[in-house]
């Protein structure tokens, strides 16, 4: 929650990189991250960015969702559960 508000593109990219690692576990991650991702598409290089009202809403919302109780938890072995894996044969 103490992550500072980014003011440059590299800082936004760093935050989205950190948050993106957990994107699969955050409900509606891409919708909340969209205003920040749009800033990265602008033509301004590394200077200060145009921080919009949508960014003021999405940045704390993403931080809040990242710090809530995780969706992933250890399986209960006496109950049935589904294991999903990658495409490997083992």
Per-residue pLDDT tens over the stretch 25-49: 888 899 999 999 998 887 766 677 8
Quick one: DSSP state of residue 23? G
What proportion of the chain, given as a percentage, has pLDDT over 90?
Answer: 38
Per-residue pLDDT tens over the stretch 55-65: 999 999 999 98
Cα–Cα distance between 27 and 21 in angstroms, integer? 13
Q: In this structure, are residues 9 and 40 in contact, taking their beta carbons and an 8 Å threshold?
A: yes
Q: What is the mean pLDDT of residues 66-74?
A: 72
Q: What are the boundaries of each domain within the chain? A: 26-68
Per-residue pLDDT tens over the stretch 46-55: 677 888 899 9
- Dihedral of the alpha carbons of 15, 21, 26, 30, in degrees to the nearest 10: 60
Cα–Cα distance between 78 and 21 in angstroms, integer? 30
Label residue 72 by pLDDT band (50, 70, 90). Answer: low
Mark residue 28 as left, alpha or beta (left: phi above 0; alpha: psi -120 to 50; beta: remaining): left
Q: In this structure, are residues 78 and 39 in contact, taking their beta carbons and an 8 Å threshold?
A: no
């Amino acid at each position: 929650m103490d992550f500072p508000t980014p003011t440059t593109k590299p800082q936004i990219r760093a935050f989205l990189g950190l948050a993106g690692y957990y994107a699969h576990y955050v409900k509606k991650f891409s919708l909340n991250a969209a205003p920040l991702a749009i800033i990265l598409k602008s033509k301004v290089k590394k200077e200060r960015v145009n921080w919009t009202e949508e960014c003021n809403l999405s940045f704390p919302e993403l931080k809040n969702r990242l710090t809530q109780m995780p969706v992933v938890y250890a399986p209960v072995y006496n109950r049935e559960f589904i294991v999903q894996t990658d495409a490997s044969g083992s």
